[in-house]
Structure 1
Amino acid sequence: MHTVTLNNTNYTIRLFDESRDSVEELTGLLHRAYKRLADMGLNFIATFQSVEYTRNYFKKGECYILESHNKLAGTVFYYTTMWDDAPEIYKHNDSVLIGKFAVEPELQNLGLGSKLMDFVESLACENNKKRVVLDTSEKALHLIDYYNKRGYEYKHHWQWPDVNYKSVILSKEL
């Protein structure tokens, strides 16, 4: 468990616990946070994924949540298992993929996402990873700009089979 303070509010970052946390609530957070992307015509899986899809994701890694007063405020997923058809950079032992990064819309642009990113990047260092990798739509310029400001660099494009956009693969050396 990790605690951060922002604007006099304490937030905790911890592993999602299926025995006490709501997968429905987590799925709803993803839908709300990714709605802006859906409104741009981008069908990120997080905009429409089912509760069961979210639950199955827990088999692929670690889901961290950001909360205050037991209220979910954000999430990020730290992949520990990689699928065969992923980009090669995702499969390197010294890389870690992060995804399903989301903050409640009314809490966005306050710095909470940066706190989550700081946490997951530190976790990667603790796990002896040399880089963090991620992807987003080439049309999500606001996200690309955010990641660039955090030190992420463009590696190449990628086409996932279940989305209607081309992705950019970004990487940050730790």
Structure 2
Amino acid sequence: MTLPPAPMIRPVNADDDLERLTKLIHAAYAPHAKLGLRYWGTHQSVEDTVERFASGTGLVMVEGDDYVGTATLRPPQPDSAVALYRDPVVWSLCQFCISPNAKGRGYGKQLHVYATRFALQAGAQMLALDTAKPAAALITMYESWGYRVVGACDWQPLTNYTSVLMARSLTDGPPA
């Protein structure tokens, strides 16, 4: 039996198929949509995917010829409505997802470790993110990776929920 190649994580490049990546994001966020949560990833256009990747460093996780995950790491955002995202030592993580077909293989954690190391090497001291307040399983997962709830933010009408704002130090030990 031949094992599939280990997934590779790399920055998005001009050769990437942004339509396929958008479909991956939609599929990854579909379970949240079934619960009534309107994450941006449930309905974003290809142009939105391009814009979100361009807002920082877009990352893709590739296994063979298949995309299996994405994330976008954003440097400090001086114009953000969220004060934490404006902090000069805080980077943020968004558009983080793993293909439903690749769940359960530890890929989410691998992608997160890569992202935290990338942000740390770029000078970040803290990594922050936001997710739907009703998404208890995601909040628990992020807490297991060292994040703590530090506030709330509201992206409505782009979403239909209040988000929890979570953050973790990148200088207190190895990335989880």
Q: What TM-score, normalized to structure 2?
A: 0.90
Structure 1: 5+ residue stretches without partners: 1-6
Alignment pair present for 1:113 and 2:108: yes
How far, CA to CA, are the matches of 2:126 and 2:139 in structure 1? 17
How far, CA to CA, are the matches of 2:56 and 2:148 in structure 1? 24
The superposition leaves residues 6-64 of structure 1 with CA deviations (integer Å, 9 ceiling, x where unpaired) of: x764111001112x110101100000000011001000010000111112223311110
Equivalent in 160, 163, 166 of residue 162 of structure 2:
166
Who is 1:153 aligned against?
A: 148
How far, CA to CA, are the matches of 1:75 and 1:86 in structure 2? 24
How far, CA to CA, are the matches of 2:76 and 2:131 in structure 1? 19
Who is 2:174 aligned against?
A: none
Amino acid at match of 1:118: V
Higher strand share: 1
How far, CA to CA, are the matches of 1:83 and 1:140 in structure 2? 28
Alignment pair present for 1:133 and 2:128: yes
Structure 2: 5+ residue stretches without partners: 171-176
Contact 2:77/2:85 (<8 A) preserved: yes
Alignment pair present for 1:58 and 2:53: yes
Q: How does 1:8-157 map to 2 (within 5 A)?
A: 9-18=5-14, 20-80=15-75, 82=77, 84-157=79-152
How far, CA to CA, are the matches of 1:106 and 1:8 in structure 2? 14
Dislocated runs of 4+, deviation >6 Å? none
Deviation larger for 69-78 or 40-49: 69-78
Deviation at residue 109 of structure 1 after TM alignment: 2.1
How far, CA to CA, are the matches of 1:110 and 1:130 in structure 2? 28
Deviation larger for 88-97 or 74-83: 74-83
How far, CA to CA, are the matches of 2:75 and 2:124 in structure 1? 11
Change (3 A) 1:164 1:71: same
Cα-Cα RMSD: 1.4
How far, CA to CA, are the matches of 2:141 and 2:5 in structure 1? 23
Identity %: 28
How far, CA to CA, are the matches of 1:58 and 1:99 in structure 2? 9
How far, CA to CA, are the matches of 2:52 and 2:105 in structure 1? 27
